[in-house]
Structure 1
């Protein structure tokens, strides 16, 4: 099933990662696989429900991979897919821009 995406490529990118939580999830997973609790702790003020929704959405979009281990209690790990990892240059650019902006504003 093909997903209906906007004609504008910038809008397409924003559709996939425009939510502030998704960008923070990507930021955390760029450095490697994380468990749900690690993501929640790192992101901070996100609720468990919202984090679950965002991860599911990113999984459906092919950005995040979820791996469940047959253990008791079950262990679930999240990592970026190849497509998700391809967003690294965008996140790097956002980081550089954010640093420069903070320097400019804070003198």
Structure 2
């Protein structure tokens, strides 16, 4: 049986969703349209965080893994990495600096 993993962003979204519902209800009871609108906005943002928070956390985790891999690659092969960086710098300079005629 696999366990579902809940991210911090998803929990934050669920809390914000409930807080938005409460704020919306308070605004409705008191007749405060601004508080009610803020509650609906918080509820919507919370729902988005709850639904897509896991995806965002997975992307961030994947980016960190890629950065670690690249760091190890440069550490293991410093001269080729230096050559690639120099070539990249030359290419960017050639593109950004207009040619003199």
Using the size of structure 1 for normalisation, the TM-score is 0.28
Pick the structure with greater CA Rg: 2
Q: TM-score, normalised by structure 2?
A: 0.29
1 or 2, which has the higher helix percentage?
A: 2
